[in-house]
Amino acid sequence: MRWTTKSKPEKQKLQALQNALQIDEIIASLLIQRGINTYEEARQFFRPNLEDLHDPYLMKDMDKAVKRIETAFQNQENILVFGDYDVDGTTSVSLMSSYLKTITQNIATYIPDRYDEGYGISYKGIDFADDNGFSLIIALDCGIKSIEHINYAKEKNIDFIICDHHRPGNEIPDAVAVLDPKQEDCNYPYKELCGCGVGFKLIQALAQKQNQTIEDLTPYLDLVATAIAADIVPITGENRILAKFGLDVINSNPRPGIKALIQNVKKQKLSITDVVFIIAPRINAAGRIKHGNYAVELLTEFDLEQASTFAAQIESFNVDRKDLDKQITQEALLQIQTNDENDKFTTVVYQEDWHKGVIGIVASRLIETHYRPTIVFTKSGDKLAASARSVKDFDIYNALEASSEFLEQFGGHMYAAGMTLKEENYLAFKDRFEEIVQQTIHPDLLTPEISIDMEIDLDQIDEKLIRILKQFEPHGPENMSPVFITKGLNDTGYGKSIGKEEEHLRLYVKQENSNGFGAIGFGLAKKKTATEGHRKFDAVYSIEENEWNGNTSIQLRLRDIK
């Protein structure tokens, strides 16, 4: 691991914030590192408020979108809500359809089949709309690059409203309205919404016309928070407000579908991390293993008993997903080893029978072993389809754009993307992608980084610090859990390896005459020798509360030891 420590804020700036907020240096430093420099910015950070959400009509084309939907209401048109098969897509479709059904019953949903139709708006979906009398399609979490599909729909007199958050290409589809804050000429103040977030802005705009307040929309925020967590978007600005209030809904009164998914979880309060690792994979498993419709059925079901039946079904998909991802990861690692590709700047692997639904997860798993931009291909019809994942601070989307002469289509973000190509272009693309990454990536980025906020001593950790740190939640990209370094630690002799395969490390650490703290390092058992025999070591960690048998104590979550 590569340890990097963030630069210390300017003394003057630090002092000004300390005085304005009456806080100590640790908290002031952490706030400035997160771009919070004034009393008002700190108020918004520590006291997120739904009233601080931006006016949805600041988004380009929002007025056109609302006007077209209101016309559909008046004329009793059939509206088809269309979305991708992942968590962001299925939560978006569930959000939009359940809201629209409070106004009209002429609503149906459509999730494309991952294997038959692939990602995004499909001709099959448009034909379905045409055959069944739908004159308006609202597309969520997709559509920003669907130029030909939108033209095809226009020929059939079907209008489109696009709600997307992916990067646009050079041409924008000729839809009635295109809601995407990443459009260059969109002046919406917050650019990092997920697809479900853009969908929420649309229902917020519609709700204003229905004389509803933001409080009336709060029950929908469990879906928005789930999408924000799963799509790994920055937990800043509007996303942080939506995630905070969405988590409150998940923990107090979630919709029956989410309640059914978490009813066997023994935690009192779920965090964003819990949503990422407990709720999101199960929702995703539907589209990966069977069909995204199962997720929408679950998330729009209002009878708890029926929702529990759907949740049990999805749980079985998730078990299958885990087995597949484990098996394919092992096969991919063997392929890398066999082909002797350890010295490359990229990982690109392909096997025609790999399950298309789990290749994205496999790409992430491979990065855990070979830390470099990674693409996993499988056969899909007469083409190859792939999922790409990147390493911190490297834009894989740009690398794909530079290699796009060999691709049929591609789309995505800085850290995750999808693509298709003809089989005969696979090797040429693989070479070109390796060449581009080699030319553009900084060698440091090929070593995993731990970004450290600041150095502290153990005696600076107390209940007051913990209380304020808890208010930094919810955590996520650009607002990660604060990471500290403390030097010259000793284990008091209680260090041991724990876990089923003894892969984790438990310590009880002290620093000279300070209070001691329990510490846990997941996957760090191999570092145990560095702590033995009262040897001094440095540790990088975050601070958390550990609940065990009804008791709560301060615990250090170790990230690394040297």
Structural domains of the chain in order of their starting residue, each with its CATH number? 7-32 (no CATH), 59-313 (3.90.1640.30), 339-446 (3.10.310.30), 450-562 (2.40.50.460)
| Size of the chain, expressed as the number of residues it contains | 562
The closest of 134, 130, 138, 146 to 83, measured between CA atoms, is 138
Ordered alpha helix ranges (H), 34-166 = 39-46, 62-74, 87-100, 123-131, 147-155
d(CA 399, CA 151) in angstroms, rounded, equals 29
pLDDT at residue number 378: 95
* Cross-strand partners of 81: 109, 138
d(CA 455, CA 213) in angstroms, rounded, equals 45
* Cross-strand partners of 419: 386, 410
pLDDT at residue number 106: 97
d(CA 543, CA 442) in angstroms, rounded, equals 31
pLDDT at residue number 232: 83
pLDDT at residue number 231: 87
The closest of 428, 379, 371 to 404, measured between CA atoms, is 428
The C-alpha angle with vertex 68 and arms to 66 and 70, in degrees rounded to 5, equals 65
Q: Would you give per-residue pLDDT tens digits along the chain (562 residues)? A: 899 999 999 999 999 999 999 999 999 999 999 999 999 999 999 999 999 999 999 999 999 999 999 999 999 999 999 999 999 999 999 999 999 999 999 999 999 998 888 788 999 999 999 999 999 999 999 999 999 999 999 999 999 999 999 989 899 999 999 999 999 999 999 999 999 999 999 999 999 999 999 999 999 999 999 999 998 899 999 999 999 999 999 999 999 999 999 987 777 789 999 999 999 999 999 988 889 999 999 999 999 999 999 999 999 999 999 999 999 999 999 999 888 777 899 999 999 999 988 999 999 999 999 999 999 999 988 999 999 999 999 999 999 999 999 999 888 888 889 999 999 999 999 999 999 999 999 999 999 999 999 999 999 998 899 999 999 999 998 999 999 999 999 998 778 899 888 999 999 999 987 888 999 999 999 999 889 888 899 999 999 988 777 778 899 999 999 9
DSSP state of 54: P
**Is 137:127 a contact under the CB 8 Å cutoff?**
no
Buried b (16+ CB within 10 A) or exposed e, 356-373: bbbbbbbbbbbbeebbbb
**Is 505:527 a contact under the CB 8 Å cutoff?**
yes
pLDDT at residue number 492: 86
| Phi (first) and psi of residue 525, to 5 degrees | -55, -30
**Is 93:84 a contact under the CB 8 Å cutoff?**
no
| Angle separating helix axes 463-470 and 25-33, nearest 10 degrees | 20
**Is 4:450 a contact under the CB 8 Å cutoff?**
yes
Helices (H) and strands (E) in the chain, counts: 19, 19
pLDDT at residue number 546: 81
Q: Given the structure tokens 């640790």, which residue do they identify?
A: 26
d(CA 82, CA 513) in angstroms, rounded, equals 62
d(CA 299, CA 91) in angstroms, rounded, equals 7
